[in-house]
Amino acid sequence: MSSGPVKYVRYLLFAAVGLALFFFVSRSAIPFPENIGSKLNPVSHKETHSTSSQGKAATSAEFTNGTWGSGDRVNATFVTLARNSDIWDLAKSIRSVEDRFNRDYHYDWVFLNDKEFDDNFKKITTALVSGTTHYGVIPKEHWSYPEWIDQDKAKKVREDMGQRKIIYGDSESYRHMCRYESGFFFRHPLMLNYEFYWRVEPSIELFCDISFDPFRFMKEKNKKYSFVLSLYEYFDTIPTLWDSVTKFMGNHPEHIAEGNSIDFLSDDGGTTYNKCHFWSNFEIGSLEWLRSKEYLDYFESLDRDGGFFYERWGDAPVHSIAAGLLLKKEQIHFFNEIAYYHIPFTHCPTGEQLRLDLKCHCDPNENFDWKGYSCTSRFFQINDMKKPAGYENES
């Protein structure tokens, strides 16, 4: 991992290159599976000033007056994949989550690692988490090459991507990490007893009090996946991902949900991928959905195609495309109220009164949601959601 300023510059470069690529790189297009029928027909959407079903479903008042805070806890856990060396960056994240939310709820926290956690890691995290902590080692078969992968070919790809300076392009462990987050963390024995998860990474920050229980909100509203930030993926990491998804859709039309979010993912009804994805370093989601036949068939199909190793598919587009295709639109939720930072992007809630009520300490000018490289406007548009008042001042 690189140091702070260097990393920041790297991200700026990455964002600039990504933006340029988004506009100039031609997209892959393969024949569209006909047996999906009307499920992927694009619908036209009005610009977003009507009140939506999603907008009606959750108002800001509900998140500040305790509507979702009362009652029993949900069967849920925080989950973090980490190395022993991540301990101090992770300690900051845990402190933030505890101070802003979990000290009132005491949810459990599961830590997963491809190696044994050392005593220092366990001691510090146990002291910081107000709920029960669990520590798991990842089974070897979930963090190694499947037998159908040609490892020489994978090595050449890493060397080539390294020379082309693609972020994490030369990293073998990053690829295992992305594949693990895409297809396995929810199947770890420690995760099997839980219904919902909240993913936390090292060095994140929460800027506002969370005065409601997001797990409870997810469960009672029948939400399966949620996000706070969305953006465009770097094309060179996923050149054939959509081809693989298209193949899956052709083989499993029964898994594609009626009323899905295809228009979040594609500008042409599914022929090509527009690279929009939810930023998965923050996720609150349903483990039961990830363990469903629909999701497992999807992951298995993508995994067989080898792009986790022959390209550098990230768990963010993999999860997002699944959510976009396998779930109904209304099962995906945007949490404006959860203020979040992971280098280099900030989600600072739009709406001054909300920020004051929640004791936020983020600068609204840094809010990424309505800026050009975010996909959140598109999410609002496809769901006919009204953007929060004041968004124009943050674009």
Interface residues with ligand GTP (CB under 6 A)? 1, 80-83, 86, 113-114, 173, 177, 201-202, 281, 343
| C-beta nearest to Mg ion: residue | 201
Is 366 in the active site?
no
Q: Phi and psi for 351 in degrees, rounded to 5?
A: 120, 105
Select the binding partner of residue 332 from Mg ion, ligand GTP, none (C-beta < 5 to 8 A, by kind).
none
Q: Which of 98, 205, 233, 283 is catalytic?
A: 283
Cβ–Cβ < 8 Å for 207, 339: yes
Select the binding partner of residue 265 from ligand GTP, Mg ion, none (C-beta < 5 to 8 A, by kind).
none
Select the binding partner of residue 113 from ligand GTP, Mg ion, none (C-beta < 5 to 8 A, by kind).
ligand GTP
DSSP line for 133-154: EEEEEPPGGGSS--TTS-HHHH
Nearer to Mg ion, 180 or 242 (CB): 180
Nearer to ligand GTP, 82 or 94 (CB): 82
Report CA 214 to chain centroid distance, whole Å. 16
Whether a cis peptide bond, with omega within 30° of 0, leads into 33 is no
Nearer to ligand GTP, 80 or 346 (CB): 80
Nearer to ligand GTP, 84 or 271 (CB): 84
Cβ–Cβ < 8 Å for 335, 348: no
| C-beta nearest to ligand GTP: residue | 173
Q: Where are the beta strands (DSSP E) in 146-218?
A: 196-199, 205-206
Two structure tokens written together for 203: 């060095």
Stretch that binds Mg ion, among 47-55, 84-92, 160-168, 279-287 (CB under 5 A): 279-287
The reply to whether 89 sits near Mg ion by the rule CB under 5 A is: no
* CA distance linking residue 210 with residue 233, whole number of Å: 29
Select the binding partner of residue 173 from ligand GTP, Mg ion, none (C-beta < 5 to 8 A, by kind).
ligand GTP
Give least dist CB 281 to Mg ion, A: 5
* CA distance linking residue 392 with residue 371, whole number of Å: 10
Select the binding partner of residue 182 from ligand GTP, Mg ion, none (C-beta < 5 to 8 A, by kind).
none
Two structure tokens written together for 328: 């109904």
Binds Mg ion (CB under 5 A): choice among 89, 172, 201, 297: 201
- For residues 282 to 311, the per-residue mask of contacts with Mg ion, x marking binding by CB under 5 A and - elsewhere, is ------------------------------
Nearer to ligand GTP, 76 or 200 (CB): 200
Q: Token match 């949490």: residue?
A: 335
Nearer to ligand GTP, 3 or 44 (CB): 3
Give least dist CB 117 to ligand GTP, A: 9
Give least dist CB 185 to ligand GTP, A: 10
Nearer to ligand GTP, 80 or 376 (CB): 80
Q: Phi and psi for 247 in degrees, rounded to 5?
A: -60, -45
Q: Token match 């199947």: residue?
A: 187
Give least dist CB 282 to Mg ion, A: 10
Cβ–Cβ < 8 Å for 183, 81: no
Report CA 272 to chain centroid distance, whole Å. 21
Select the binding partner of residue 114 from Mg ion, ligand GTP, none (C-beta < 5 to 8 A, by kind).
ligand GTP
Give least dist CB 279 to Mg ion, A: 10
Give least dist CB 263 to ligand GTP, A: 27
Q: Are strands 76-81 and 196-199 parallel, antiparallel or unpaired?
A: parallel
* CA distance linking residue 150 with residue 145, whole number of Å: 9
Q: Where are the beta strands (DSSP E) in 187-260?
A: 196-199, 205-206, 225-227, 230-232
Two structure tokens written together for 368: 């990424």
* CA distance linking residue 251 with residue 231, whole number of Å: 28
Two structure tokens written together for 323: 């959510």
Select the binding partner of residue 83 from Mg ion, ligand GTP, none (C-beta < 5 to 8 A, by kind).
ligand GTP
Q: Which residues are catalytic?
A: 283
The site for Mg ion (CB under 5 A) is made up of 201, 281
